[in-house]
Amino acid sequence: MKNILESYQIIKLLQYRYPFLLIDRVTEYEKGKRLKAVKAVSAGEPCFSGHFPDYPIMPGVLITEALAQSSSLMTVLDALDWKIGDGIPESQSDSMGVLGNVQISFLQSVLPGNLLELDVELDWKKGSASSIHVKASVEGNVCAKGKITVMTVNKNTMFS
């Protein structure tokens, strides 16, 4: 599995930091079409101390967030007109993905020690909005799937 982007590079594009960056690396990317990322689920993550102590499972909201971050990353890379091999842009992008609508079905638990595979594929794009088919799986078994809508917005004007 070839790594296209590592976590230190993803941090430059998405404004998340530990413990809330839920993408460890990007393994595939096709501009305007799809992105595949992975999250190594560790027993030492803060959520497992309380969800649930006797049977730790990754909360569905964090699986959803990992899929949303993957979707946002794809839209940011598309907006930058980034291609594999280009390297990461020196300056941070003015755009960021913002979650719009979520429809996720959960099918299987994700446990500490799992390698969570995050697959996102563009369904449609209209202006700054994109609908994205998402799927999270472990060893080929689908754990969650659905659709997420994200928008690309200028982060400089978003908080002003």
| Residue of 51, 133, 147, 155 marked active site | 51
| Least trusted range by pLDDT, from 65-74, 108-117, 123-132, 151-160 | 151-160
Chain segment 13-72, per-residue pLDDT in tens: 887 888 899 999 999 999 999 999 999 999 999 999 888 888 999 999 999 999 999 999
**The two three-digit tokens of residue 138, written as one number:** 């472990």
51 is catalytic: yes
Q: Nearest 5°: phi and psi at 107?
A: -120, -20
Neighbours of 6 (CB within 10 A): 12
Name the CA radius of gyration of the chain, rounded: 15
Q: What is the pTM of this model?
A: 0.91
What values do phi and psi take at 74, rounded to 5? -60, -45
Alpha-carbon distance of 27 to 2, in angstroms, equals: 6
Q: What is the pLDDT of residue 160?
A: 55
- Tally of structural domains, the chain: 1
Cβ proximity of 13 and 78 under 8 Å: no
Question: In this predicted model, what pLDDT tens digit does every residue of 91-103 receive, in sequence order?
Answer: 355 566 667 789 9
Report helix, strand or coil for 125: strand
**Domain range for residue 19?**
5-158
Triad 148, 152, 153: Cα angle to 5°: 130
Least confident of 85-89, 121-125, 127-131, 136-140: 85-89
Q: Is the pLDDT of residue 76 over 90?
A: no
- Biggest CA–CA distance in the chain, Å, is 47
Residue % of the chain over a pLDDT of 70: 89
Q: Measured between alpha carbons, how far is 86 from 89 in angstroms, rounded to an integer?
A: 8
Average confidence (pLDDT) over 119-124: 97
Is the predicted pLDDT of residue 157 greater than 70, yes or no?
Answer: no
Which residues neighbour 91 within 8 Å (Cβ) at sequence distance 6 or greater?
none
CATH of the domain at 72: 3.10.129.10
What's the pLDDT score for residue 91?
39
